[in-house]
Amino acid sequence: MPAADAAWLHMDRPTNPMVVNSVIWFDEPLDWERAKQVFERRIVDEFPRFRRRVGEPLGRPPRFEDDPEFDIDQHMHRLALPAPDQAALQALVSDLITPPLDPTRPLWHVYLIEGYGEGCAVLIRIHHCIADGIALARVMLSLTDTEADVDAGIAPPAAAQETGGKLPLGAVTRPASAALDAARQVTAAAVHEGLESLVHPRHAADLAATAVRDAGTLAKLLTAPSDTSTVLRSPLHGTRRVAWSTPFPLDRIRTAAHRADSKINDLLVAAVAGALRTELERHGPVPDEVHIMVPFNLRPLDEPLPRDLGNDFALILLALPVGLEDRGARQREVRKRMDAVKDSHEGPIAYGILSAIGMTPPQVEDVLIGFFTQKASAVVTNVPGPRETVYLAGTPVRGVLVWAPCSGSIGMTVSIFSYAGDVTVGFMVDTALLPDPQPLVRAFDAELRALCRGTRHRAPAGA
């Protein structure tokens, strides 16, 4: 197992399993048997890690090994909601994401959750040692098609659209085509929506070659103090709760960002900063800054995913200026700080540190992980999905969220996902920090609306 993957494997804690959790929801019922076939042919058959468990021979590095008793039915489950509303779905998802994955089996599970309104939802849990969240978002997209398939068989890969949608049914056994098309969808969305990587993946190698000389960046990562002690830094319980917003039109965000001479990313992160400020105000004095970890991709998005997947990303440490009361000033400062990160070598250096951690003995690794995770209070991801509606097993996808795991002592992860012209934000929070993340969702929604209106100060209560 590569060192970076081993690092994520060993980051598992009883209070913080290293699992990427994704929720996909639909306005119509999903043909589950057909979806299982799509998942098996396009994911399990294509990417060997989905059939392999983790072995850790005594005194040797961990490795992936075939599970001789692999049975897809042990990984794909069917449940029903007790009530058809979003609150019930959020409560069930919260319960399902709390336990760690069984280490004696391949480290993933999929749950069909029926009875969500007139449709359903699907929860996908995959351990971070299999792949990073950006790669797994592309893996999920490889399940989908750009048009509903009227044939009763398995939907052909999305790449079939390039040949008039007439690939033979057997083409589903060649999901690399779908994965490549999914990569193109993500790349096109990123370019079109301004949701660019903090550092372009093609520049990563050049940056890595010179980053060792960047003593200032290395010093920042190694000497940054623990994050400010706030309600966001409480000892963790290990139980989690999720909540997410209603979709917000991406066009409105783009217009507001251009008006402020900012990127869409800047505006969304500024809204997160404003939401955290609102929450911190409820619990006492607001510090000048809180720090977040922001994953950024090092893998070219316009190339197929490798069959072994893996982790090829880095974590950026970003200080959010929550102490600034003026909303406009806060947004400008977020833009300034994000621009500074984009021009630095921090990403490749951080990736190198993570790989080095993965090669240390477990006792040393535990200390190092704790050292780095004390420097931040949350993980924030911003993933651009397809600009148009996609279909899973013939059923249109209504919405998507992908939460990166927290690590060490971090107890909050925020997912911002753009899809089909809308942006949805979801908060996953340890109950030791907040028993209910819904106020954070409302605060984010109020901040985003105020930023899109150009309001300088705080939004009115209930906005």
Instruction: For the chain, give the mean pLDDT.
Output: 77
Range with the lowest mean pLDDT among 11-25, 117-131, 246-260, 369-383? 369-383
- 339 pLDDT tier (thresholds 50, 70, 90): confident
Average pLDDT value for residue range 180-198: 41
pLDDT per residue as tens digits for the range 319-332: 899 999 999 999 99
pLDDT of 414 reads: 93
The reply to whether the predicted model has a pTM over 0.85 is no
* Number of other CB atoms surrounding residue 215 within 10 Å: 8
- 203 pLDDT tier (thresholds 50, 70, 90): very low
Share of the chain above pLDDT 70, in %: 71
pLDDT of 75 reads: 95
- 168 pLDDT tier (thresholds 50, 70, 90): very low
Average pLDDT value for residue range 30-55: 93
pLDDT of 115 reads: 95
Domain with CATH 3.30.559.10 in the chain: 3-193
Average pLDDT value for residue range 95-121: 94
What fold, for 3-193? Chloramphenicol Acetyltransferase (3.30.559)
Average pLDDT value for residue range 121-141: 87
CATH of 201-386+400-453, one of 3.40.50.720, 3.40.50.300, 3.40.50.150, 3.30.559.30: 3.30.559.30
Task: Give 358's contacts (C-beta < 8 A, 6+ positions apart).
Answer: 2, 3, 4, 5, 6, 7, 8, 10, 365
Domain with CATH 3.30.559.30 in the chain: 201-386+400-453
Measured CA to CA, the distance from residue 406 to residue 87 in angstroms comes to: 23
Residue 380 corresponds to which amino acid?
V
Q: Which residue has the higher pLDDT, 449 or 232?
A: 449
pLDDT of 201 reads: 41
Looking up tokens 């490795």 gives: 63
pLDDT of 190 reads: 38
Please determine, for residue 157, whether its predicted confidence score (pLDDT) is greater than 60. Answer: no
